[in-house]
Structure 1
Amino acid sequence: MQDSDKGNPQQLNGQGLRVGIVQARFNAEMTGKLAQACMAELQRHGVSAAAIEHVTVPGALEVPVALQAMARTKRHDALVALGCIIRGETYHFELVANESGAGVTRLSLDHHIPIANAILTVENEAQAWARVEEKGRDAAQVAIEMAQLLKALQ
């Protein structure tokens, strides 16, 4: 692989990769669609269905702890965080969005594993529905691309 090819999204190949997915169940219809799109895209790029570990947690704040447990096993080449946080009338939206995002980033850096963060933060359900399939696919592509890049850099 040449330097210019490292991380090239045109060369996505998930064959042999192991990917862990943590899906928040809060707003389950939307996060279920995120998960379906993500898993279909992983498989479209060659990740075996048997190499995808998919777990669910109650909400976005619980996603980082499940990701941490997966990262500690060292069984995965990449992880994916899936959730949907819809703004409400209180400050809770900001708390959940900020803390879940910070937790995902910290885990990626601490455990040296790529984590595609597809925890949607939206104003309303219409915005979420407009994004779920694309963001699910994007998360899969990011996971594959970053897993390839980190392997190439080792």
Structure 2
Amino acid sequence: MFGAEQGTAPTLDGAKLRIGIVQARFNESITNALAAACRAELLALGVQEKNIDHVLVPGALEVPVALQAMAEREQYDALVALGCIIRGETYHFELVANESGAGVTRLSLDYQLPIANAIITTENMEQAIARQTDKGRDAARVAVEMANLLDTLN
């Protein structure tokens, strides 16, 4: 994904948005960095600190249920999913990556609510470290852009 052409986004303004973040604690050093980068970018885009709610869950498989609880409150313009799944020696990597990703996507569609999925999946810790800041920042930008887009479509 490095060097991928992402296109040019419109000017992003998060001043009127309320954003919820769900962060998995598993691989906490990575997810803390994802969360810090995401929060910093949200603030840089104008989202007010008081309009950012941030909750922690044990791991990536628990992210969707917390997102669902937040979506059901009907007070967020967008949500962000943060986590880090690093391949191990068993099939568990595929299970966690596939199920957490499918859960996030299903919730976004069911609730018609943008959810920026920054549950990163990597082969090793080095790849995770290389992606933690950019992916956290990207998630914030996706959340703001999609919240603004859906506002214009509704």
TM-score by length of 2: 0.94
CA distance in 1, matches of 2:63, 2:9: 26
SS in 2 for 1:66: helix
Q: Partner letter of residue 54 of structure 1?
A: H
1:70 paired with 2:70, answer yes
What secondary structure sits across from 1:74 in the alignment?
coil
Residue of structure 1 equivalent to 2:5: none
In the alignment, which residue of structure 2 is the partner of 1:86? 86
Deviation at 1:9, TM superposition (A): 2.0
Matches within 5 A, 1:45-60: 45-60=45-60
SS of 1:14's partner is: coil
Partner of 2:17: 17
Give the Cα–Cα distance (whole angstroms) in 2 for the partners of residues 130 and 102 of structure 1: 24
Q: Secondary structure at the match of 1:17?
A: coil
Q: Distance in 2 between matches of 1:58 and 1:75?
A: 24
User: How far apart, CA to CA, are the structure 1 residues paired with 2:67 and 2:12?
Assistant: 23
Distance 1:81 1:104 in 2: 8
| Corresponding pairs, count | 147
1:102 aligns with 2:81: no
How far 1:10 moved relative to its partner?
A: 3.1
Please give the per-residue CA displacement for 1:81-138, whole angstroms capped at 9, x wherever unaligned. Answer: 0000000000000000000000000000000100000000000000000000000000
Runs of at least 4 residues off by over 6 Å: none
Query: In the alignment, does 2:111 pair up with 1:129?
Result: no
2:146 partner amino acid: M
1-side partners of 2:131 and 2:97: how far apart? 17
Q: Secondary structure at the match of 1:11?
A: coil
Q: Using the alignment, how far apart are the partners of 2:133 and 2:118 within structure 1?
A: 11
Deviation at 1:16, TM superposition (A): 1.1
Unpaired segments ≥5 residues, structure 1: 1-7
Deviation at 1:35, TM superposition (A): 0.2
AA partner of residue 119 (structure 2): I
What's 2:118 paired with?
118
Q: Which residue of 1 aligns with 2:138?
A: 138
